[in-house]
Amino acid sequence: MTLTREALTDVAAIAAAAPHTKVRLGTSHGSAVVIGEHPDGAMCIDGFRRLMAAWVDGCEPQVDSVAFVGARYEGGMLTNDGIRYFVTRLSAQETATTLQQRSDWPEEAHAVVREDLLLDVSVVQVMSAELDEDGVEAAARDAQAACMVEELCREVAAA
């Protein structure tokens, strides 16, 4: 299944926020494109971000799969060295407010919000030195869900 422009924009934003990231894009033609600092790299991560920002509407990307080298990317979330990254369409301020309103947020979990003005998204990084992998995963998925609900509420209110 071909990935959408929005999905690839998320990948570009996460790749820029996660240090030393290498991404492999599988094309619908059976070849792979490597993005990042790598001998086989087709472009740098910043170049990928600029490409996604300048994408022309109506053109469908011919990418069928995404793999972050040395990390897991599932359900719009990157898991890398015990840290989780996800993208939201909320601004950094809106994201921070949404996360601060979570009454059941674990005290041991920390979220860092990075706004990517070029791509018009925010990347949330969730981490904890005290929580185990399941605890970090639960906190990150909860944060991701809260941001998705807030995005949806804003879309409905604007309609």
What amino acid is encoded at 23 in this protein? V
**Residue 19: per-residue pLDDT:** 83
Q: Cα(151)–Cα(153) distance, rounded to whole angstroms?
A: 6
**Residue 126: per-residue pLDDT:** 98
* CATH number, domain with residue 119: 3.30.70
Judgement on whether residues 11 and 50 belong to the same structural domain of the protein = yes
Q: Calculate ∠ Cα 34-112-123, nearest 5°.
A: 40
Range of the domain at 20: 5-74
Q: What is the mean pLDDT of the chain?
A: 92
**How much is the CA Rg of the chain, to the nearest whole Å?**
16
Judgement on whether residues 11 and 55 belong to the same structural domain of the protein = yes
Q: Is 41's pLDDT higher than 80? A: no
Judgement on whether residues 64 and 95 belong to the same structural domain of the protein = no
Q: Does residue 85 sit in helix, strand or coil?
A: strand
What is the tens place of the pLDDT at every residue in 88-126? 999 999 999 999 998 888 999 999 999 999 999 999 999
Tokens found for residue 137? 């995963």
Q: With contact defined as beta carbons under 8 Å apart, do 66 and 25 qualify?
A: yes
pLDDT band, residue 142 (cuts 50/70/90): very high
Judgement on whether residues 122 and 93 belong to the same structural domain of the protein = yes
Judgement on whether residues 101 and 143 belong to the same structural domain of the protein = yes
In sequence order, what are the beta bridge partners of 113? 124
